[in-house]
Structure 1
């Protein structure tokens, strides 16, 4: 269940929006005190923020900028200010979408679902976890029990392929086809060398016996 933080000072709109989203299986967090909104937002662990612009103490632009400086949590600005300048300002400060009031409920729900899907895909591209082992694709690192080690390009591709297939056996030909994408020639012996190096690096962080050899078939986790 996705968790949505609603930053809206109009009590009626805030309540109606919360009731609506709850009916569509979202968990809602409501901010009712607006003195320290940025701090509340960053500690909320929300999956998405719905943010009004006209707020007490500081406006939504300031809040959007403050949140974005410390977090990549998606933000949809929902406001009655409907000028192109407002939309442009919101996007330039890091908002993911802009919806004007009064909004069409189905369109708002579609925008929320779209942003959440996009965020989820991005997170999946950045990291993948299996049996306590986390592969950080953006940093080319693998971690296990608070220890981490850097991987080469080929080691990263091999482990990513195996983690995507998890318990399924991946043939040597499939792995070599994956490595071929690097525009480097990879022969059978080179693959064996890369597999052995990857195993040693996993052992260095305490992930022993993660890669199993299936003789005549390939490898699996």
Structure 2
């Protein structure tokens, strides 16, 4: 298998040298060329590991690290000239796995890449049993972002899958808005009140695609409850 490494670095000379060195070791590399929407490149390339700088055009590396962490657990290594302790702390708190300061030895970068790939995809990976949550014929596979009912299957977004898991685990209890907000976002202080309603509505519409009507009902002043009125045929 050829592992894919994405390079998010605006110094093209450094990016090209990294790319050349990485490919010598049998990896496939891609240099990001869209710093206004890094996630577009991410979705197209689907990397196994990301190398990222802090100082980038438009948004800094911390922003893109957080965005990647919303959808992926792939290793993220910061490579930057910023040596401050707070920079390293912020990188790790925003989801990074490692931190390398410039100037660096390419051999160290390769060693770090090999180490993280072994840990995530290779011989050090601990086999785990895939989770499956079942409720009255409705089956959710959280890691696959997949939900099935009566042999019908749909793929959910990450936030839809998180909501579905909470509702199914808490059934038949009402789930408060506060619990749902904390599950979906790290900092609820910057989330608009209507944002949760929008996400719940989206999940309700997705369940309609499985022929499950009125699956989530609002409970005034508290939150929402999964309303199981269907039967597994």
Bucket of the pairwise TM-score, normalised by the shorter protein: 0.5 to 0.7
Structure 1's 147 and 53: CA in aligned 2 closer, same or farther, altered over 3 A? closer
Q: Does 1:23 align with 2:24?
A: yes
Query: Match for 2:131 among 131, 139, 157?
Result: 139
Match of 1:125 in 2: 127
Alignment of 1:152-167 (within 5 A): none
What is the Cα deviation at residue 147 of structure 1? 9.8
Distance (whole Å) between structure 2 residues aligned to residue 53 and residue 41 of structure 1:
17
Shift of 1:70: 1.8
- Asked if structure 2 preserves the Cα contact closer than 8 Å seen for 1:53 and 1:59, the reply is yes
**Structure 1 consecutive aligned stretches of length 4 or more whose deviation exceeds 3 Å:** 121-124
The superposition leaves residues 113-146 of structure 1 with CA deviations (integer Å, 9 ceiling, x where unpaired) of 11111111576623xxxxxxxxxx04168x9xx9
What TM-score do you get using the length of structure 1 for normalisation? Answer: 0.57
Residue 34 of structure 2 corresponds to which residue in structure 1?
33
Quote the residue 2:59 is aligned against.
58
- The whole-number CA distance in structure 2 between the counterparts of 1:125 and 1:73 is 16
TM-score (norm 2): 0.54
Q: Which runs of 5+ in 2 are unaligned?
A: 134-140, 149-233
- Checking the alignment, whether the CA contact within 8 Å between 2:118 and 2:125 is kept in structure 1 is no
Whole-angstrom distance in 2 between the partners of 1:47 and 1:10: 22
Q: Aligned partners of 1:8 and 1:64: how far apart in 2? A: 13
Matched residue SS, 2:88: helix
The structure whose residues are more often helix, as a share, is 1
Shift of 1:38: 2.4
Q: Distance in 2 between matches of 1:42 and 1:71?
A: 11
Q: Give, in angstroms, the shift of residue 39 of structure 1.
A: 3.1
What residue in structure 1 maps to residue 93 of structure 2? 92
Check conservation: 1:6, 1:30, Cα contact below 8 A. Answer: yes
Partners of 1:42 and 1:71 within 8 A in 2: no
Contact 2:22 2:28 in 1 (8 A): yes
**Contact preservation (8 Å) 1:42, 1:67:** no
Q: Unaligned regions of 5+ residues in structure 1, if any?
A: 127-136, 149-221
Whether the 8 Å contact between 1:4 and 1:29 is mirrored in structure 2 is yes
Q: Does 1:5 align with 2:6?
A: yes
What is the total number of aligned residue pairs between the two structures? 137
Partner of 1:115: 116
